[in-house]
Amino acid sequence: MKHNFLFTCLLFAFTVTYSQFNTKMHVEYSKNVGDSFEIYISLPKDFDSTTSHDVVYYCDANLKSGKQLRELILTNRSNDNLRSHIFVGIGHIGDYHTLRRRDFILPTINAKDTVARGKKYGQTEKFYSFLQQELIPSINTQFKVNANANSIVGHSLGGLFVFFCLFKSDSLFSKYFALSPALWIDNYSIYRFNKIRSGFNNNKYLYFASGSKETINKILTGTNNAAKFFDEKKYKNFTYDYEIWLDKTHNSAVPLSLEKTLKDKL
């Protein structure tokens, strides 16, 4: 018993010593969406309110990918740059299967998509408005931030939403991280939402990745096509990195992509 107690104390001390962020969660209502979300705010343990921070927004904060991101920033000691960031996660409350389709899948264009828009599908514009008009302005008033240095992270349908944000061609985000994005949804209709013309006024960066085993779910085909698309477009002030994780699947590729994002890309 003494040995177990000592081990527990040492483990606790190790966790506290190397915890890099403190996270608090609250529930926030969105008028644009007409629904509430869990909002996870992670601040560096040595947070200085007088210093400007870059903000990283991430989808699915209460699902596996969001939890993995928080675990990584909690114990990460290899990238001191993370301490200059605030991480803000957005999580659905309730039936996340339905709610993710509502908020991450694209609305119809001229009623030609494969699934009609409805209350449980295709309300991406409203979710985007929640970020643009409610959540991000709220974070900007609570903390001193670099307003032109926001990042957005999403996995699967969340990754599709990341591409939607990029194709908005506005100034809300400067860096985009799409992990195994479901670009195939509605016959690749994401490209019909592309508002980018010749490029951007300010620098934009995209990192997207998939696993080499993501073939049946069409993810790998979609990301390969996306790389070809950007190579052909050659957008001004735009750079991207594309990664294929060997022998990884839709889920097993996520922690590798997150680690790469946190270590090298922010």
CATH classification (class only), 21-265:
alpha beta
What pLDDT is attached to residue 12? Answer: 38
Please give the Cα distance from 161 to 153 (Å, whole number). Answer: 9
Integer angstrom CA distances of residue 116 from 27, 113, 120, 204: 30, 7, 10, 32
Please give the Cα distance from 31 to 130 (Å, whole number). Answer: 8
Question: What does the pLDDT look like over 147-163, one tens digit per residue?
Answer: 899 999 999 999 999 99
Average pLDDT for residues 32-48, to the nearest whole number? 95
Average pLDDT for residues 26-34, to the nearest whole number? 97
41 pLDDT exceeds 50?
yes
Please give the Cα distance from 206 to 163 (Å, whole number). Answer: 9
Question: What does the pLDDT look like over 53-72, one tens digit per residue?
Answer: 999 999 999 999 999 999 99
| pLDDT: which is higher, 81 or 26 | 26
Please give the Cα distance from 216 to 73 (Å, whole number). Answer: 32
Q: How many helices (H) and strands (E) does the chain have?
A: 9, 8
User: What are the residue ranges spanned by the domains of the chain?
Assistant: 21-265
Q: With the CA atoms of 9, 12, 16 and 21 taken in that order, what torsion angle do they form, in degrees rounded to the nearest 10?
A: -170
Q: For 90, what's the count of Cα atoms within 13 Å in the CB-facing half-sphere?
A: 28
What pLDDT is attached to residue 1? Answer: 42
Q: With the CA atoms of 140, 164, 166 and 155 taken in that order, what torsion angle do they form, in degrees rounded to the nearest 10?
A: 80
What pLDDT is attached to residue 28? Answer: 97
232 pLDDT exceeds 90?
yes
What pLDDT is attached to residue 217? Answer: 85
| pLDDT: which is higher, 239 or 187 | 239
Least confident of 5-19, 110-124, 201-215: 5-19
Question: What does the pLDDT look like over 69-93, one tens digit per residue?
Answer: 999 998 876 577 898 999 999 999 9
